[in-house]
Amino acid sequence: MRLHKEHPAILALCQADSRLAQLIHLIGERTLTPSAFPYESLAMSIISQQLSAKAAATIKARVKLVIPAFTPELVLAADETAIRACGVSFPKIRYIRDLSTKIISGEVNLDRLHELDNAELLKQLTSVKGIGVWTAEMFMIFALGRSDVMAIGDAGLQRAARWLHQLEERKDCNYLGQIAPVWAPYRSFASLYLWRAVDLGYVDSGLPVEECQIAENR
């Protein structure tokens, strides 16, 4: 999915929030590519928890060598010691096995994910050991490509939201609560731009988005 300036969702976001429109113009096109293999994506997201991107990529590549065809049945049949040797902790191995067991039993039905609304899907995913709200939300955005997920618990998003609208400090740190409602039903897409603003250093610069834009054009 290409999120460009003529995309209906981007047009709607720009109309709803002028500051977000400035950020979108500054950053340009973004892409979101849903996964064709949701089970593997969810299992790998468990493996990636609390790891740097580089470390996670290395460990996931090793796991795929041990279990080339990544299915619930083959994960359950795999030798735990061999998976541990890839760098996956025993707790994470238990979480992946719990996910696999729940999928095989039908308690978690990945074939019907698109039939569930966000709240129902979140409840089903977080029934798996090791999958918290944030992991489930990231899966919903990046693996399923859902357009209207708002990860309130993501500290980076909260920080970026405060920066974007130059908001006063709040005790609850819920800056998204102030501004994100106007982004519906495209809050996932808005989040992509906020995360990119963090990655590019705009948020840490402290400069308002309009000044970042001026600096980029010099």
Whether 154 is catalytic is: yes
Length in residues, the chain: 218
- What CATH number did the domain enclosing 178 receive? 1.10.1670.40
Mean pLDDT of 85-99: 95
Q: Is 43 in the same domain as 6?
A: no
Written as one letter, the residue type at 105 is S
pLDDT value at 218 more than 70: no
pLDDT for the residue 113 = 82
Encode pLDDT of 112-162 as tens digits: 888 889 999 999 999 999 999 999 999 999 999 999 999 999 999 999 999
| 72 in a structural domain | yes
Q: Is 18 in the same domain as 50?
A: no
| 45 in a structural domain | yes
Cα separation, 75 vs 53, whole angstroms = 23
Closest CA to 210 of 39, 54, 67, 26: 26
| 136 in a structural domain | no
Domain limits for position 175: 2-32+150-217
Domain boundary among 98, 131, 164: 131
Enter the pTM of the model.
Answer: 0.91
Phi, psi of 3 (to 5 degrees): -100, 95
The single residue of 17, 117, 154, 172 carrying the catalytic annotation is 154
| 6 in a structural domain | yes
Q: Is 159 in the same domain as 190?
A: yes
Closest CA to 13 of 207, 194, 217: 194
Total structural domains in the chain? 2
- What CATH number did the domain enclosing 118 receive? 1.10.340.30
